């Protein structure tokens, strides 16, 4: 079916309106409109008279309409545009390229408008290529540019276009900013022209003989022209320039008659240095870091056809190659822009997967991506990819990333760079496994060699690096985060351990296991160790038995070794090896059940029970004489651990985590970066099993302390009741009691040493003690002691009164991590006498910046430590105590703060500085409150918001 415009009116109208472009010499200069007079003007500020501007706009939009229709129908097999419309566009192209230099500013402006219209024509013409169009192009070459070699189909077209642009610039009839507009149309036209060879190949258009599309010399000319203009290009010209570079490189390294049979444009190191320096200058000077230009920059400079050339990464000796230089700077400077690092990680991991041999040059960059994490949240990143056509197009031009479906989930998070690197090395490891089944190849060998190299690099950093090897660091600090990220990657890299490096790897592992590390870090050391010893079971006896025989080892390290040994026993698949491990490892673990260290003892109990349940059937009776005494002991031990109520409570608190624990799955990217757990807010790391044991035991201790305090209160009340009874029966009892009262003050928070009254303890035979002066001095000392004790008691009572008279309001800031906000909120809580201020890490009160802002508020307001992973359980506990759970968050059902009546017992949760309150926390809240806003800015600072809410609570309860 042929699409036909009504009587050809559209093409005829475009043909008539375009006459303005050919008659520019007859158009006389006329006074400019007042809005343009004296201005240089951009694309929409034409330096033309009103009537001429109208004619030019008619011509541009009519041609644009024809071009758009041709582009729409070019991809349809059933509907095709009429030949008259395509012929019109070809004729328009020839006429524009045949225009002579203008002699006036008006002529220059009209010529500039002709190139603007040509942009739309060239976007449509490559899509409409046909054998007939090729014949027309060959005929036009004979008259268009006779001085150019006719052996290459597109050379005369490129030559005529570049020459005419240079002529228009050379006559000096355009103002400076209008020349910039001309350059913008130039790059847009070149971008379209360079796609012509691809469209010809897609449409299977073959030229006679060995007639190639374009010569290497012409491509090199265009390439150098583009690179020269890249550094100083305007914002509107960046995309077409970068796309032109990408197309030139693709054509140069693609066969199928695009170039001469064995030719290329010969891009050498010097040309690449010029390109990367210009590209780097462009990036640094770019204020708006949009997705489209960043993606275009990466895909053009780090082109896949050049990345395989090892000389581009490292030149003779140890000198950096141009691509290595560019990548290093993009990642270092790009740390200020989260989207730059994400897009770079996406593109680079795709290139490294294609060319594993190049990984050896980028160990430092891989480490940087592994440890990368930005607190900045890029709200527009995903929207630019999905909703912006240019952004989507350039995003898809990046190298194909490994495991697209899995990594897609993390694309708009700060975790994406390290997730991409983890998936890359998992794919590289599988590449070697595949090659073993088929045949060895160079890529597989390089992949394994460089994966092993990166593993040793990270382990060396974990042992020797100034920061990664620290033993004393704050929870949720940057060092803590870096340690977690490093060991997550090391777990993935366990796939690259072989016999040649296993001794070196285990040696460094034991150094790290012996050091102090927080549970969130230690769990990944344990996963890595389990992988190693499952892979190399022969190392168990020679390395673990001496460790368990060291009776002075740190309890924390010993807990990890018990956990590793138990899981090696449980997850060994070969029965004979499993029984051997049981025989070697279980006996030295059993004594740890009697350890004085509470956490180690409890942890060992659940692990030993797990091993005994799996490897010793419960059907064997313990009173049978046929079994050995050792086995009876183990059976009785298992029976005790199974039926003891305390042990059962401990196991139930684990929520069957040990049964579901799979160290092999946890060492994969999907296991390490899973979002299925509820407690994975910190670096995608779930709460470790050992940490759950510690939390359980701490809760037990807290319950025990509460019970003891209640019992002490009961005893005290009983004592007071007895004293009242005695006073009613014997009046002298009160006087005696008053004499003793300074000595029986029992305040656990202010316990003074008891003073001895010498006159009651010294015998009367010593004359020195009988002197009047000495008696007088001693009496004065006794009075001073009594006065001091009385003052201390009064002061302590005042302090207790200050602490006790508080509002029933608890402010929860466990989701916050910025010290100024936390310190300001602590000060606010003290000012309004809140019952408690909840933070993720109570040690933050010792920070100098915190103390400077809080002005000693932390000494008066009760500070409650509730880590983020325990926040939900803390809130549920408060709910059971009768508190109402509130959140300060804008939701679909949130209530304006001034319309809400606060319950007397309220807990208010504050969200993260940018992301707000997580969904799983919102679900347990009774209500969400929002502060009514009148301005344009979408939110208040979290400290200010918390202060406003706390004041509103105080105002309401003061008025009641």
Kindly report, residue by residue over 140-166, the tens digit of the pLDDT. 666 655 555 556 777 788 888 888 888
Token readout for 806 is: 């508080």
- In sequence order, the β-bridge partners of residue 887 are 909, 928
Q: How deeply is 960 buried, as exposed, middle or buried, from its count of CB atoms within 10 A (0-12, 13-18, 19+)?
A: exposed
Rounded Cα distance, 522 and 532, in Å = 15
Token readout for 76 is: 């349809």
Domain ranges of the chain: 514-619+627-696, 806-958
Which carries the bigger pLDDT value, residue 398 or residue 253?
398
Please write the tens of the pLDDT for every residue from 753-778: 444 444 444 444 444 444 566 566 65
Give the per-residue pLDDT at 438.
Answer: 47
Rounded Cα distance, 395 and 408, in Å = 13
User: Does 603 have pLDDT greater than 70?
Assistant: yes
- Per-residue b or e along 879-899, where b marks 16 or more CB atoms closer than 10 Å to that residue's CB: eeeebbbbbbbebeebeebee
**CA 637 from centre of chain:** 47
Whose structure tokens read 């029986």? 744
Radius of gyration, alpha carbons of the chain: 40
Give the per-residue pLDDT at 651.
Answer: 75
Rounded Cα distance, 755 and 419, in Å = 67
Give the per-residue pLDDT at 456.
Answer: 95
Give the per-residue pLDDT at 744.
Answer: 41
Rounded Cα distance, 395 and 298, in Å = 10
Please write the tens of the pLDDT for every residue from 653-668: 765 677 778 889 889 9
Give the per-residue pLDDT at 68.
Answer: 84
Which carries the bigger pLDDT value, residue 765 or residue 710?
710
Token readout for 177 is: 């900013």
- Candidates 380, 381, 384; CA nearest to 393 is 384
Q: How confident is the model at residue 783 (pLDDT cuts 50, 70, 90)?
A: low
- Going by the DSSP 8-state scheme, the letter that residue 207 receives in this structure is -
Sign of CA dihedral 388, 392, 395, 397: negative
Q: How confident is the model at residue 824 (pLDDT cuts 50, 70, 90)?
A: very high
Give the per-residue pLDDT at 760.
Answer: 43
User: Does 793 have pLDDT greater than 70?
Assistant: no
Give the per-residue pLDDT at 2.
Answer: 45
**Helix 363-371 vs helix 416-437: angle between axes, to the nearest 10 degrees?**
130
Give the per-residue pLDDT at 528.
Answer: 95
User: Does 473 have pLDDT greater than 70?
Assistant: yes
Give the per-residue pLDDT at 347.
Answer: 92
User: Does 703 have pLDDT greater than 80?
Assistant: no
First to last CA, the chain: 82
In degrees rounded to 5, what are phi and psi of residue 520?
A: -60, -30
CB 299 within 8 A of CB 351: no
Which carries the bigger pLDDT value, residue 433 or residue 636?
636
Give the per-residue pLDDT at 832.
Answer: 92
In degrees rounded to 5, what are phi and psi of residue 812?
A: -105, 120
Token readout for 940 is: 């208040």
Mean pLDDT of 430-442: 62
Give the per-residue pLDDT at 549.
Answer: 84
User: Does 527 have pLDDT greater than 90?
Assistant: yes
Give the per-residue pLDDT at 322.
Answer: 92
CB 871 within 8 A of CB 921: yes
In degrees rounded to 5, what are phi and psi of residue 815?
A: -85, -5
CB 80 within 8 A of CB 145: no
Give the per-residue pLDDT at 751.
Answer: 43
- Collapsing DSSP to helix, strand or coil, 42 comes out as coil
* Most trustworthy range by pLDDT among 189-203, 870-884, 924-938: 870-884
Q: Cite the DSSP H helix spans in 465-501.
A: 478-492
CB 609 within 8 A of CB 652: no
Give the per-residue pLDDT at 382.
Answer: 73
- In sequence order, the β-bridge partners of residue 863 are 837
Please write the tens of the pLDDT for every residue from 33-44: 555 544 444 455
DSSP for 128-190, written as a single string = G--HHHHHHHHHHHHHH-TTS-TTSTTHHHHHHHHHHHHHHHHTT-S-HHHHHHHHHHHHHHH
Sign of CA dihedral 780, 782, 788, 794: negative
User: What integer best gives the mean pLDDT of the chain?
Assistant: 79
Mean pLDDT of 98-108: 83
Give the per-residue pLDDT at 210.
Answer: 43
Give the per-residue pLDDT at 671.
Answer: 87
Q: Does CATH place domain 806-958 in 3.40.1280.10?
A: yes
- Candidates 226, 126, 245, 153; CA nearest to 186 is 226
In degrees rounded to 5, what are phi and psi of residue 910?
A: -100, 140
Mean pLDDT of 362-378: 83
Q: 634 CB contacts (<8 Å, ≥6 apart)?
A: 612, 616
Give the per-residue pLDDT at 412.
Answer: 78
**CA 323 from centre of chain:** 25
Sign of CA dihedral 621, 622, 624, 630: positive
Alpha carbon distances (Å) from 541 to 499, 555, 564:
17, 21, 13
Which carries the bigger pLDDT value, residue 30 or residue 742?
30
- Going by the DSSP 8-state scheme, the letter that residue 688 receives in this structure is P
Rounded Cα distance, 583 and 470, in Å = 36
Mean pLDDT of 850-855: 89
- In sequence order, the β-bridge partners of residue 884 are 906
Give the per-residue pLDDT at 146.
Answer: 56
Q: How deeply is 645 buried, as exposed, middle or buried, from its count of CB atoms within 10 A (0-12, 13-18, 19+)?
A: exposed
Q: How confident is the model at residue 719 (pLDDT cuts 50, 70, 90)?
A: low
Rounded Cα distance, 411 and 48, in Å = 48
CB 451 within 8 A of CB 495: yes
Mean pLDDT of 902-918: 90
Mean pLDDT of 530-555: 88
User: Does 533 have pLDDT greater than 80?
Assistant: yes
Tell me which of 225-239, 512-526, 596-610 is least confident: 596-610
CB 264 within 8 A of CB 253: yes
Give the per-residue pLDDT at 595.
Answer: 84
- In sequence order, the β-bridge partners of residue 320 are 314
Rounded Cα distance, 212 and 763, in Å = 125
Rounded Cα distance, 526 and 567, in Å = 10
CB 375 within 8 A of CB 336: no
Give the whole-number percent of the chain exceeding pLDDT 70: 75
Mean pLDDT of 223-227: 90
Mean pLDDT of 296-316: 87
Mean pLDDT of 213-242: 86
- Collapsing DSSP to helix, strand or coil, 896 comes out as strand
Could you tell me how many residues make up the chain? 960
Token readout for 419 is: 């997730």
Give the per-residue pLDDT at 815.
Answer: 92
Token readout for 290 is: 């949009």
Whose structure tokens read 């302090």? 799
Q: How confident is the model at residue 622 (pLDDT cuts 50, 70, 90)?
A: low
Which carries the bigger pLDDT value, residue 686 or residue 276?
276
CB 647 within 8 A of CB 608: no
Which carries the bigger pLDDT value, residue 190 or residue 74?
190
- In sequence order, the β-bridge partners of residue 837 are 811, 863
Sign of CA dihedral 625, 626, 628, 632: negative
């Amino acid at each position: 079916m042929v699409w036909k415009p009504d009587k050809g009116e559209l093409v005829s109208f475009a043909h008539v309106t375009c006459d303005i472009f050919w008659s520019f010499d007859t158009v006389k200069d006329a006074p400019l409109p007042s809005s343009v007079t004296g201005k240089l003007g951009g694309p929409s500020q034409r330096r033309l008279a009103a009537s001429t501007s109208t004619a030019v706009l008619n011509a541009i939009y009519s041609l644009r309409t024809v071009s758009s229709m041709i582009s729409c129908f070019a991809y349809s097999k059933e509907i095709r545009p009429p030949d008259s419309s395509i012929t019109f566009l070809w004729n328009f192209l020839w006429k524009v390229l045949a225009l002579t230099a203008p002699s006036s500013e008006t002529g220059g402006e009209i010529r500039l408008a002709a190139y603007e219209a040509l942009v739309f024509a060239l976007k449509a013409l490559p899509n409409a290529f046909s054998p007939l169009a090729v014949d027309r192009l060959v005929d036009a070459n004979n008259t268009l540019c006779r001085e150019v070699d006719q052996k290459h189909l597109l050379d005369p077209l490129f030559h005529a276009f570049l020459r005419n642009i240079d002529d228009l610039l050379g006559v000096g009839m355009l103002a400076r900013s209008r020349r910039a507009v001309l350059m913008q149309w130039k790059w847009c036209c070149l971008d379209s022209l360079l796609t012509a060879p691809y469209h010809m190949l897609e449409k299977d258009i073959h030229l006679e003989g060995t007639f190639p599309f374009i010569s290497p010399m012409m491509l090199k000319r265009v390439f150098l022209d583009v690179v020269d203009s890249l550094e100083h290009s305007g914002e509107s010209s960046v995309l077409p320039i970068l796309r032109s570079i990408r197309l030139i490189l693709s054509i140069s390294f693609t066969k199928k008659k695009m170039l001469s049979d064995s030719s290329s444009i010969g891009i050498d190191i010097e040309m690449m240095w010029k390109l990367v320096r210009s590209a780097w200058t462009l990036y640094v000077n770019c204020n708006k870091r949009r997705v489209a230009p960043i993606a275009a920059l990466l895909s053009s400079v780090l082109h896949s056809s050049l990345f395989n050339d090892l000389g581009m990464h490292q030149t003779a000796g140890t000198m950096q190659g141009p691509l290595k230089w560019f990548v290093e700077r993009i990642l270092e400077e790009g740390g200020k822009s989260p989207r730059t690092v994400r897009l770079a990680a996406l593109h680079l991991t795709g290139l490294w997967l294609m060319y594993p041999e190049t990984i050896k040059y980028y160990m430092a960059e891989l480490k940087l991506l592994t440890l990368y994490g930005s607190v900045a949240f890029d709200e527009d990143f995903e929207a630019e990819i999905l909703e912006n056509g240019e952004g989507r197009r350039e995003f898809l031009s990046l190298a194909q990333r490994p495991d697209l479906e899995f990594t897609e989930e993390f694309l708009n998070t700060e975790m994406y760079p390290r997730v991409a690197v983890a998936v890359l090395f998992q794919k590289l490891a599988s590449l070697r496994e595949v090659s073993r089944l088929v045949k060895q190849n160079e890529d597989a060998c390089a992949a394994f060699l460089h994966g092993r190299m990166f593993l040793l690099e990270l382990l060396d950093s974990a042992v020797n690096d100034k920061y990664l090897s620290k033993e004393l660091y704050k929870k949720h600090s940057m060092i803590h985060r870096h340690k977690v990220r490093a060991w997550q990657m090391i777990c993935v890299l366990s796939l690259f351990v072989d016999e040649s490096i296993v001794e070196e790897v285990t040696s460094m592992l034991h150094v790290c296991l012996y050091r102090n590390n927080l549970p969130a870090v230690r769990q990944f050391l344990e996963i890595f160790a389990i992988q190693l010893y499952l892979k190399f079971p022969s190392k168990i006896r020679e390395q673990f038995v001496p460790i368990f025989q060291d009776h002075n080892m740190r309890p924390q390290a010993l807990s990890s070794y018990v956990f590793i040994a138990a899981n090696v026993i449980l997850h060994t698949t070969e029965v004979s090896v499993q029984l051997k491990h049981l025989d070697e490892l279980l006996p030295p673990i059993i004594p740890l059940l009697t350890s004085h260290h509470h956490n180690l003892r409890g942890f060992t109990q659940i692990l030993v029970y797990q091993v005994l349940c799996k490897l010793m059937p419960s059907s064997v009776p313990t009173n049978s004489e046929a079994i050995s005494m050792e086995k009876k002991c183990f059976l009785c031990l298992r029976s005790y651990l199974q039926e003891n109520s305390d042990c059962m409570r401990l196991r139930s608190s684990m929520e069957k985590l040990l049964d579901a624990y799979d160290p092999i799955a946890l060492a994969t990217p999907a296991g390490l970066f899973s979002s299925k757990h509820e407690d994975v807010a910190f670096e995608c790391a779930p709460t470790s099993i050992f940490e759950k044991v510690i939390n359980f035991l701490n809760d037990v201790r807290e319950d025990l302390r509460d019970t003891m305090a209640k019992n002490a209160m009961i005893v005290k009340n009983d004592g007071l009741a007895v004293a009242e009874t005695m006073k009613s029966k014997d009046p002298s009892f009160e006087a005696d009691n008053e004499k003793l009262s300074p000595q029986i003050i029992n305040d656990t928070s202010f316990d003074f040493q008891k003073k001895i009254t010498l006159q009651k303890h010294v015998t009367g035979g010593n004359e020195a003690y009988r002197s009047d002066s000495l008696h007088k001095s001693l009496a004065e000392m006794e009075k001073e002691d009594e006065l001091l004790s009385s003052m201390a008691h009064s002061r302590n009572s005042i302090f207790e009164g200050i602490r006790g008279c508080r509002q029933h309001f608890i402010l929860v800031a466990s989701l916050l991590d910025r010290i100024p906000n936390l310190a300001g909120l602590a000060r606010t809580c003290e000012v309004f006498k809140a019952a408690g201020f909840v933070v993720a890490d109570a040690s933050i009160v010792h920070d100098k910046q915190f103390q400077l802002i809080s002005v000693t508020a932390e000494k008066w307001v009760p500070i409650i430590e509730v880590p983020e992973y325990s926040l939900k359980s803390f809130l549920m506990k408060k709910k059971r105590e009768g508190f109402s759970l509130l959140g300060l968050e804008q939701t679909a059902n949130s209530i304006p703060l001034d319309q809400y009546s606060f319950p007397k017992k309220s807990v208010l949760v504050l969200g993260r500085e940018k992301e707000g309150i997580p969904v799983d926390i919102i679900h347990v809240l009774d209500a969400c409150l929002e502060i009514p806003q009148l301005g344009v800015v979408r939110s208040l600072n979290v400290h200010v918001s918390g202060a406003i809410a706390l004041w509103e609570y105080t105002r309401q309860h003061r008025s009641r």
